[in-house]
Chain A
Amino acid sequence: MKAAASYAYPILKRMLAVSFLLCLLLIISAFLGLAMGSTAQDIRQILSVLSGHADQYPTLSNIVWQIRLPRVVLAALSGATLSLGGLVFQALLRNPLAEPYILGISGGSAVGAIIGILLGLSPFPGVAFFAFAGSMATLLLVLLIASTKTALRKDTLILAGVMVNAFCSSVIMFLISLTQDSRLHNILFWLMGDLSLSDAHRTLMLMVALLPCFTLLFLLARPMNILLMGEEMAANMGVNVRLIPLLLLAVTSLMVSIVVCHTGLLGFVGLVMPHLFRLLFGPDHRLLVPACIFGGGAYLILCDLLARSLPSQGEMPVGVITAMIGAPLFILLLRGVRR
């Protein structure tokens, strides 16, 4: 697997191969996500609805296109965003434990969202707005703490993020301890990540905001590779080591914040997907960025599918599934590769 990652196999071919493979996986996952759900149906009915013959089964058609499709797209976009977030932060901060929320996004958005929920606001735009504002506030705070006159310090960035998140955690605990009614349930679901609040309009908005970010990160894949050689060497190879890391940081944080305010804190995906793809495809970001977009999306669709179809009644938060399946899978792969 890893020996193949060499210039002997032109990068374009490898990029196409990885993208094709994982895109296929994404399409299969999306199909499963559309076809399966809490209401049991005949597979032929599903197929006819999916192939555009909606008129025979109006209810089912409604479920598939109005409820399941936005949810599947939301899952794909969130999975892709969080995986990319982890990928960029792990590369930029040179820390394998970095994840998309590391710069204080989780703490800030959670405090914001909980305040929104306690104020009795609707999930959208009220709670989402509070969550976004919260994440932006903590993010700015972390950047301010870590920036000196000339540069951003990586170690300080991580430490500041961890501290801000820790402080927010205690605020969250405090707010939870004050809450007793049904809002507690909403808060817990938000903290574990929840894809059930999707609708077509919001998902479309999300897509419009995120796709340019994905494209930009793909364009910056080669500079990201060179940054792994160390800032000094990257500068000597013509990479703008002030602008590009800052751009990466800003774009990634922004898109993670946008996703978080719609879905709550979906854990684990962002931490582990980049590592998984690194084990499979090597360290080249020109492979890893498309892998994270397609593969990360597919993974979250499948996890969400399990989360809403496993319980006999209702559904469980998707965050429960992501780690329950992902962690053992990752350990297996790690053992397999380091044999």
Chain B
Amino acid sequence: MKTALAVKDLGHRYGGRTVLDAISFSVQEGEFFIIIGPNGSGKTTLVRTISGTLEPLRGQIFILDRPIRSYSGKALARSVAVVSQTPPSDIPFMVSDVVLMGRSPHMSLLAIEKPKDVDLTERAMAFTNVQHLAGRRFDQLSAGERQRVLIARAICQQTRIIVLDEPTAPLDLAHQINVMDLLERLRKEEKITVVMVSHDLNLAATYADRLLLLKDGGVVSLGKPDEVLTFQTLEKAYGCVLLVDENPVKKVPRVTLVPHALLTNNSL
């Protein structure tokens, strides 16, 4: 299998503070790869370097075995699609137009969208189940609908890799499962590599092939969910007491938060 993404000795600083430090890992094509870690551990910065938005101060990134710097902006946009954490709230376009914009990296400056592009837009909207919203304005949608529209836009970009920064954070339970199932289908049916950041350890354990646990900009653990999600590792990374047992519906770890009050009462 080919390597979709390889990161070698990545380092970055913001104003004297180290946010990424000697990070190395690689993601195989068709893998579901989830980056976890506490707030401020460098997850978003890492995602921004992978998506080419931020140039790291140190280290190298390879996308489909080619250095990221050798890609033009458009060529990179044909290989990696990104769903960022906070889209602007005042996007005036209609849903269909937003999804159709995903075609722009495939078009020259003067080109006009062709029937094929409209076709792909329709299919992407059907895939994420937003066809019924096609004529609505993007800024009038709910958070869950917006997220699905932006994922449709990313699908429309027809890339080998999709990078998502906390796509499930603003969503309720049903929408979280919807989005995760959608990404899983995308990986299975289209063999697209999914790299995402998540705060939800249980969701991550359920869907990921492999996890990357970051803390203070460094790698704490990298591997299959049952290797990474042990209470020793997690307590080290998050600095709080956690209970890890087995998820009753799928043989992956399940993480439960333990309130301080229960600890001091010695009831465990």
Q: From A3, A225, A235, A237, give the contact of B93 (CB < 8 A).
A: A225
Does the CB pair B78–A238 fall under 8 Å?
yes
Does the CB pair B98–A229 fall under 8 Å?
yes
Chain B residues positioned under 8 Å from A233 (CB to CB): 82, 84, 87
Does the CB pair B101–A229 fall under 8 Å?
yes
Does the CB pair B104–A226 fall under 8 Å?
yes
Q: From B81, B90, B101, B110, give the contact of A225 (CB < 8 A).
A: B101
With known contacts A6-B134, A233-B87, A239-B73, A228–B100 Cβ distance under 8 A: no
0/1 string, B98-110, CB within 8 A of A gives 1: 1011101101011
B interface residues (Cβ-Cβ under 8 A, vs A)? 51-53, 72-78, 80-82, 84, 87-88, 90-94, 96-98, 100-102, 104-105, 107, 109-110, 112-113, 118, 121, 134-135, 157
* Chain A, residue nearest B105 (CB): A238
Chain A residues positioned under 8 Å from B135 (CB to CB): 3, 6
Say how far B97's CB is from chain A's closest CB, in angstroms. Answer: 7
9 A-B pairs whose Cβ atoms sit less than 8 Å apart in the complex: A6-B134, A223-B109, A226-B104, A230-B84, A235-B73, A236-B84, A238-B73, A238-B76, A239-B104
CA distance A278 to B88 in the complex (A): 19
CA distance A336 to B175 in the complex (A): 37
With known contacts A222-B109, A238-B73, A238-B77, A7–B97 Cβ distance under 8 A: yes
Does the CB pair A94–B51 fall under 8 Å?
no
How many residue-residue contacts, CB under 8 A, span A and B? 88
Most buried by A among B80, B90, B101, B110: B101
A240 within 8 Å of B by Cβ? yes
A219 within 8 Å of B by Cβ? yes
Chain A residues positioned under 8 Å from B53 (CB to CB): 232, 235-236
Does the CB pair A228–B73 fall under 8 Å?
no
* Chain B, residue nearest A242 (CB): B73
Does the CB pair A228–B134 fall under 8 Å?
no
Say how far B105's CB is from chain A's closest CB, in angstroms. Answer: 4
Say how far A277's CB is from chain B's closest CB, in angstroms. Answer: 13
* Chain B, residue nearest A232 (CB): B84
Does the CB pair B84–A6 fall under 8 Å?
no
Sort A-B residue pairs by CB-CB distance and give the 10 closest, nearest first. Answer: A238-B77, A238-B74, A236-B82, A238-B105, A283-B92, A230-B88, A238-B73, A232-B84, A7-B96, A12-B112
Does the CB pair A94–B92 fall under 8 Å?
no
Other A-B contacts than A12-B112, A228-B92, 12 sampled, CB-CB below 8 A, are A8-B96, A11-B112, A222-B109, A229-B87, A229-B91, A230-B84, A230-B88, A236-B84, A237-B102, A238-B78, A239-B73, A283-B93
CA distance A318 to B155 in the complex (A): 51
Does the CB pair A226–B51 fall under 8 Å?
no
CA distance A316 to B110 in the complex (A): 43
A52 within 8 Å of B by Cβ? no
Does the CB pair B51–A222 fall under 8 Å?
no
Does the CB pair A237–B104 fall under 8 Å?
yes
* Chain B, residue nearest A94 (CB): B90
Does the CB pair B87–A230 fall under 8 Å?
yes
Say how far A191's CB is from chain B's closest CB, in angstroms. Answer: 34
Say how far A7's CB is from chain B's closest CB, in angstroms. Answer: 5
A315 within 8 Å of B by Cβ? no
